[in-house]
Amino acid sequence: MVLERLRSFLFTCSLTKSKVDGKDNTHKQEQRSSYLLVVRKNSTYVYFFLAISLILASVGAIARAQDAENTGKIQGKVTLLNETLANQTVSLKRLQNNTLIWISNATTDSKGNYTFAGLDVREKYQVSLVFQGVPYSKDVSFGNQTSIQIDFIVYATTTSDANMKIEWIDIVIVLEEGHLRIFENAIYGNTGLQVFNNSRLKAWLPPNRNSFKTSVMDCCIQQYEDNVLFDPMDPIKPNGNYSMWMDYNIPISSSDQQFEKKLAYNTEQFYLIVENKSGFRAEIIAGLANKPTIIEVDNVKYTLFTGIGLKADSTIIVKFTGLPAPQNYGPVFLWVLIPLIFGISFLTYPIVRKRSSEKKTPQNDLEAQKLTLFEAIAQLDSDYDAGKISKGKYEKLKSKHKNKAIEIMQQIEKSKVTQLTPPVSPASILTELQLEEQALISTLHKLDLDYDKGLVSVESYRKMKSKFEHRRAEVVKEIKKLEKTEKKDEASQGVDS
């Protein structure tokens, strides 16, 4: 409406002006009066229009100024040691409610540069990339800035542990009833210029150990007679490190006994700490200088032996004297024990014989093979998710295991028919599922504890927790389904009765 009135005003003014230019002098005074009248009538609308235009222009200018203040960019360079890395994909994610949301990717140019523009400086971001299977990431907060430089230095990857070392290891030995308790705490470091990305770090251990515990998750450690292999889970970058601890017992077999510790890698600092007890003495036989120092921690005295710059595969030998030797009860104990063993054997022999005959059926052997294959497939999935094997090898092995598992399952079905074995009851299946759920709950709880202690990276924690929770959801679903079936069966039996 205002625009229409304004156009009318301007058109009237143009007509008035054309008449004056036409030298119509006889009506000049009348035209001037008419012109002023029109101006007076339309001046209110003109002022209103100009005011609105000025307000809109001001609001737009303020909005553009605010957008300019809240808009930022992230830029940086990716280098491989001293060389720029071109054609490298860099990802940008926004952190929202403790969840990373992917926004976009950028590709580095010939000089290794990348840029993300038009970003809201009030948000928090993460810039990341993956080079040779190793992730690199940095969290970004703009603060009072509108432009931030985030550079990455990436490294080549190796699976060799040739450049690994032990930066620090302390071994605490405490005398307990019937055994020596050994607690080892070690920090492994990467001295090379390549990322160590392998699931195999080694630690030598006494073969007669027992009650073994460690900070490494059960899925990531393999025990052998005289050593353990463990998976750090995360790549160890140059100058990076990884820490872990082990706790185990050595049985006391005599009053004089030796303890040997072999070092898997070159070791910068070694500390052997032995608890002081009356009559109990420790002496270094090899590997360290026999120059003990007495220290006191929490009002308990310990003997401290130290070593600096020890070589890989060197062995520290400690001799203990004054150990409480295990008591020998001799023939009296045997005469009491032998009748007890024969009595238990007489009572349990029929049960054991029955169970052993059940276990030796071909069907149970096939079931064992099937479970082994399922475990192999699960391990294969885990290795592939962790990037330990290639896609081609993964698909080939999984197909092979899967086909073999199908073949064995078919044999099991045939065996059930020929042997007329009764089907597995829903109750037994329900029990197995309930046990599996409890195991999954325990696994998730341990995973949370390891994550809280910083033993598991964020990426590995999320991946493993998602997998375990997914399996638990499946198990819970099956449990509810079986429980519902059992209730229906009980209800139908009640009606029949």
- What does the pLDDT read at residue 369? 72
Domain boundary among 401, 421, 441: 421
Is residue 97 located within the same domain as residue 232?
no
In a domain, 21, yes or no: yes
- What does the pLDDT read at residue 462? 78
Domain boundary among 406, 421, 436: 421
- What does the pLDDT read at residue 49? 63
- What does the pLDDT read at residue 496? 54
Is residue 268 located within the same domain as residue 210?
yes
Is residue 65 located within the same domain as residue 81?
no
C-alpha distance from residue 98 to each of 94, 356, 368, 444 (Å): 10, 54, 43, 20
In a domain, 211, yes or no: yes
- What does the pLDDT read at residue 86? 94
Is residue 378 located within the same domain as residue 396?
yes
Is residue 184 located within the same domain as residue 313?
yes
- What does the pLDDT read at residue 131? 93
In a domain, 280, yes or no: yes
Is residue 32 located within the same domain as residue 93?
no
Q: Which residues of the chain have pLDDT under 70?
A: 1-51, 53-54, 56-68, 325-368, 370-371, 373-375, 378, 380-382, 385-386, 405-406, 409-410, 412-428, 454-456, 459, 489-497
- For 44-62, what is each residue's pLDDT tens digit? 665 666 667 667 666 555 5
Is residue 185 located within the same domain as residue 302?
yes
Is residue 12 located within the same domain as residue 57?
yes
In a domain, 347, yes or no: no
In a domain, 331, yes or no: no
Domain boundary among 399, 421, 443: 421
In a domain, 137, yes or no: yes
- What does the pLDDT read at residue 415? 62
Is residue 102 located within the same domain as residue 250?
no
Domain range for 250 = 164-321
C-alpha distance from residue 53 to each of 56, 264, 299, 488 (Å): 5, 80, 83, 76
Domain count, the chain: 5
In a domain, 385, yes or no: yes
To the nearest whole number, what is the mean pLDDT of the chain? 77
Is residue 18 located within the same domain as residue 48?
yes
- What does the pLDDT read at residue 297? 80
183: domain CATH number is: 2.60.40.1730
138: domain CATH number is: 2.60.40.1120
Is residue 390 located within the same domain as residue 444?
no
In a domain, 348, yes or no: no
Is residue 173 located within the same domain as residue 307?
yes
- What does the pLDDT read at residue 404? 77
